[in-house]
Structure 1
Amino acid sequence: MPLVSGEMVRVAGRLVVGVAVGGVSAVGEVVFLILALLGMAVGGRPWVYGVARGLAEFERGRILRFFGQAFTGEFSGERALRYLGVRWLVGGLGLGVLLLMLFGAVNAVLMLVQLARGGSIIEFDAPEGVSWYDPVTYVLFGGLLAFVTIQGMLGVVELDRRLARHFLGPTVQERLQRRVSELTVSRAEVVEAIDAERRRIERDLHDGVQQRIVALGMLLGRARRTDDSGRAAELVRQAHDEAGRALTDLREVTWRVYPIALDTDGLRVALESLAEMAVIPVHLRYTLTERYPSAVEVPAYFVASEAVTNAVKHSGASRIDLAVERVGSAIVVRVTDDGVGGADPRGGGLSGLARRVAAVDGVFTVDSPPAGPTVITARLPCA
């Protein structure tokens, strides 16, 4: 594996260009700040704030494009002016680092030319030619200069990011207001999801178990009224079969409400039972090595359960892959089927899962092109 890959070169080039653009813009910002002082003195506050906002937006776009960090939210002209009052120092520092890099590169070329001619890099007129310490001096001082300039450029990049985040990013009050809004929406969605879950349970009991029990009662009633012993025995046998099917339906409903194995044996066993009960082959890949709180395992199970149920009912799939793994500080549940695709994320089942995942600050995505496959992914924070 090469020590320097093409991607590393591209990233380094992008950072250098970003620092260079920031250094050039810093010169313009110094000019603007001087004019802003004069403008504020003669009552030109509105245009000063307007230009400051424009320059700050330019800097935010530059940082996003070259440094890969975005800052959301609105900021006032006053905050933008304060930002520019400090930002030009960082830009000037970055420009100085780039000039130092250029100086080092030019000196490196001159030294190499001098060594190639057989001269000394310390004394250009030295008659004895190359000394033993010339290569050592070249490597040591060249490496030191390269290290200092690279670290300086990375420091400027990080300082530029933090400065923009501090002045142009949302304030503490704005973050709190945004969080309150998110929690308000999340609470409403949780209530809606609970109501939808209750309606689904009632529908499953009414359309499934209740109908089975009604049929069972009718069979037993017919068996009591008949005088034919053979016919009565056949009706009792049918009633026995119907009781078994009712019990199976009831077991499925209870598993969809809340599987007891999730508390006693953990998420892995609950998912294994889910895979065994599915009428389509479900291939489970479970890589978690420890138990997690119920706030993580419960939504993880219901995402898998609802996604598998939807695939069985609507996708026409012949295979379902269920993967549960930890990625960073999140548990990722991914359900993939080879069905016809076209799943609507706004449908009742999937939208309910999205609300359930959002309630724990997770991320829920559905990728289902018309020809398939369908991939349902939930990222649940566990840290």
Structure 2
Amino acid sequence: MDAEERNGFRLAIGIVLGAVTAVVEFAFTLLSGLVLLLVQAWPLGRQAVLRSVGSAGRWLAERERARLSAWLRIKCSSAYTDERALTYLAWRWPLGLLGAVVLLCALIGGGYSLSFIIGWLVTDVRHPLDLVVASAAGLLLLFMAMQGAIGVGTLERRLARRFLGPSQQDELRRRIEQLFTSRAGIVEAVHEERRRIERDLHDGVQQRLVALGMLLGRALRSQDRKHMDELLGQAHQQSRQALTELREVAWRVYPTALDEAGLRAAVETVAERSAVRVDLDFKVREEPRGPVAAVAYFVVSEAVTNTVKHAQATRIRVMIEGQKDGSLLVCVEDDGSGGADPRGSGLIGLARRVAALDGHFDVSSPGGGPTVIRAELPCG
């Protein structure tokens, strides 16, 4: 079953459940209206009834939110008033009954569209033209019912957004806040990365170069040829280590293999350089664009580095897979001791990088393991 068939099946189930809830909502709306009409002249009683009706209406609206989310992929806010919930229910039940009518028409159309085949297989056909006309009419009715089901789904979305929210203004406000947050996070991540590079250069490469200079100075001042050769040998060793550490720093800043050979080659290099065994499962048909590939690489690199340093793991599994919706899923799992802190500087930096691309980042690391790091990156 492909994605379109699954979506059609979910839509049909959602409309069927909506027809069932519409009956309940109709009864609730009718009963609530009658009760409120009876206590209209009694202020205290009216307030008590309104509170009870509002609570019941919110409960029904929450059931509708669950149905819309599970079957129609419609996300609604929970920040709505009881009055808006009651208004939504009053408008929703006719739409639910309309959905039931649409599905009934689909069943009738499907039955008539099969009448030609069933007629030839089961009975002796005396009027084949009538069967052809009935089948054609059934196909037409089935097609119109399918379009009607899509229309019902669209109306469900608009009605829920109108009364339950979020409204377009709320969405824009949320998006602006998200952009402000992600921008601030990226600035902080850049500063943190610069500080880490400075520490690596100061504590690693710089110390190597200082030691190299001291060894060369001692070699120049030495009068003993054998001692001079030993000092030069040590200086040569220090220069090689300094070059290796400088390459490590440059690789952490941005790997050239990412541009020259692509994401897979860059991640394979991380796996080869790891002190812990890394199993790579790469299922990407098209090379992701530059920013997405860079973030995916840094997620893998940082996760593998953290595992080697802290997790006491014996195996790491890296999975990079292209999703049907066009996003890129990156998952790094190890068999270590767990207990990774999602608020640590390294993981916070990864979360900010992913958020800058409107992606989703998640860390699961219970005590005793395993640690699973997941990042979903949109590629559009």
Partner of 2:62: 61
Partner of 1:32: 32
| 1:322 aligned counterpart, secondary structure | strand
Matched residue type, 1:304: V
| 2:284 aligned counterpart, secondary structure | coil
Matched residue type, 2:318: L
Unaligned runs of 5+ in 2: 2-8, 109-122
Partner of 2:303: 307
| 1:284 aligned counterpart, secondary structure | strand
Normalised to the residue count of structure 1, the TM-score between the two structures is 0.75
Partner of 1:122: none
Does residue 1:273 correspond to 2:269, yes or no? yes
| In structure 2, C-alpha distance between the alignment counterparts of 1:229 and 1:251, rounded to whole Å | 33
Give the C-alpha shift of residue 280 in structure 1.
Answer: 2.4
Partner of 2:347: 350
Normalised to the residue count of structure 2, the TM-score between the two structures is 0.76
Task: Give the direction of change, closer, same or farther, for the CA distance of 1:250–1:13 in structure 2 (3 Å limit).
Answer: closer
Contact 1:56 1:83 in 2 (8 A): no
Give the C-alpha shift of residue 172 in structure 1.
Answer: 0.6
| 2:361 aligned counterpart, secondary structure | strand
| In structure 2, C-alpha distance between the alignment counterparts of 1:376 and 1:66, rounded to whole Å | 30
Give the C-alpha shift of residue 329 in structure 1.
Answer: 2.2
Identity %: 48
Backbone CA RMSD of aligned residues: 4.0
| 1:72 aligned counterpart, secondary structure | coil
From 168, 172, 176, give the equivalent of 1:172: 168
| In structure 2, C-alpha distance between the alignment counterparts of 1:10 and 1:86, rounded to whole Å | 23
Partner of 2:327: 330
Unaligned runs of 5+ in 1: 2-8, 105-130
| In structure 1, C-alpha distance between the alignment counterparts of 2:277 and 2:269, rounded to whole Å | 12
Task: Give the direction of change, closer, same or farther, for the CA distance of 1:165–1:46 in structure 2 (3 Å limit).
Answer: farther
Does residue 1:377 correspond to 2:378, yes or no? no
| In structure 1, C-alpha distance between the alignment counterparts of 2:39 and 2:231, rounded to whole Å | 98
Partner of 2:119: none
Stretch deviating more after TM superposition (64-73 or 221-230)? 64-73
Give the C-alpha shift of residue 262 in structure 1.
Answer: 1.8
The Cα offsets for residues 279-319 of structure 1, whole Å up to 9 and x where unpaired, read as 32323222222222222111111111111111111112222
Within 5 Å, give how 1:129-168 maps onto structure 2. 159-160=155-156, 162-168=158-164
Contact 1:261 1:269 in 2 (8 A): yes
| 1:335 aligned counterpart, secondary structure | strand
Give the C-alpha shift of residue 237 in structure 1.
Answer: 0.6
| In structure 1, C-alpha distance between the alignment counterparts of 2:249 and 2:93, rounded to whole Å | 65
Matched residue type, 2:29: E
Task: Give the direction of change, closer, same or farther, for the CA distance of 1:301–1:94 in structure 2 (3 Å limit).
Answer: closer
From 208, 221, 224, give the equivalent of 2:220: 224
| In structure 2, C-alpha distance between the alignment counterparts of 1:334 and 1:244, rounded to whole Å | 35
Does residue 1:282 correspond to 2:278, yes or no? yes
Number of aligned positions between the proteins: 347
Partner of 2:192: 196
Task: Give the direction of change, closer, same or farther, for the CA distance of 1:255–1:21 in structure 2 (3 Å limit).
Answer: same
Partner of 1:72: 77
| 1:237 aligned counterpart, secondary structure | helix
Contact 1:27 1:92 in 2 (8 A): no
Contact 2:25 2:89 in 1 (8 A): no
Task: Give the direction of change, closer, same or farther, for the CA distance of 1:88–1:18 in structure 2 (3 Å limit).
Answer: closer
Contact 2:18 2:96 in 1 (8 A): no
Give the C-alpha shift of residue 213 in structure 1.
Answer: 1.0
Give the C-alpha shift of residue 31 in structure 1.
Answer: 4.2
Contact 1:24 1:95 in 2 (8 A): no
Task: Give the direction of change, closer, same or farther, for the CA distance of 1:349–1:91 in structure 2 (3 Å limit).
Answer: same
Does residue 1:89 correspond to 2:85, yes or no? no
Task: Give the direction of change, closer, same or farther, for the CA distance of 1:356–1:95 in structure 2 (3 Å limit).
Answer: closer
Partner of 2:5: none
Contact 2:76 2:164 in 1 (8 A): yes
Contact 2:61 2:85 in 1 (8 A): no
Within 5 Å, give how 1:228-267 maps onto structure 2. 228-267=224-263
Task: Give the direction of change, closer, same or farther, for the CA distance of 1:78–1:377 in structure 2 (3 Å limit).
Answer: same
| 1:261 aligned counterpart, secondary structure | helix
Larger radius of gyration: 1
Task: Give the direction of change, closer, same or farther, for the CA distance of 1:257–1:39 in structure 2 (3 Å limit).
Answer: farther
| 2:313 aligned counterpart, secondary structure | coil
Contact 2:285 2:322 in 1 (8 A): no
| In structure 2, C-alpha distance between the alignment counterparts of 1:348 and 1:291, rounded to whole Å | 29
| In structure 2, C-alpha distance between the alignment counterparts of 1:274 and 1:175, rounded to whole Å | 40
Contact 1:325 1:331 in 2 (8 A): yes
The Cα offsets for residues 37-71 of structure 1, whole Å up to 9 and x where unpaired, read as 89899999988986775455233222244452552
Task: Give the direction of change, closer, same or farther, for the CA distance of 1:372–1:85 in structure 2 (3 Å limit).
Answer: closer
Give the C-alpha shift of residue 217 in structure 1.
Answer: 1.4
Contact 1:363 1:378 in 2 (8 A): yes
| 1:196 aligned counterpart, secondary structure | helix
The Cα offsets for residues 224-252 of structure 1, whole Å up to 9 and x where unpaired, read as 22211011101101110110011000000
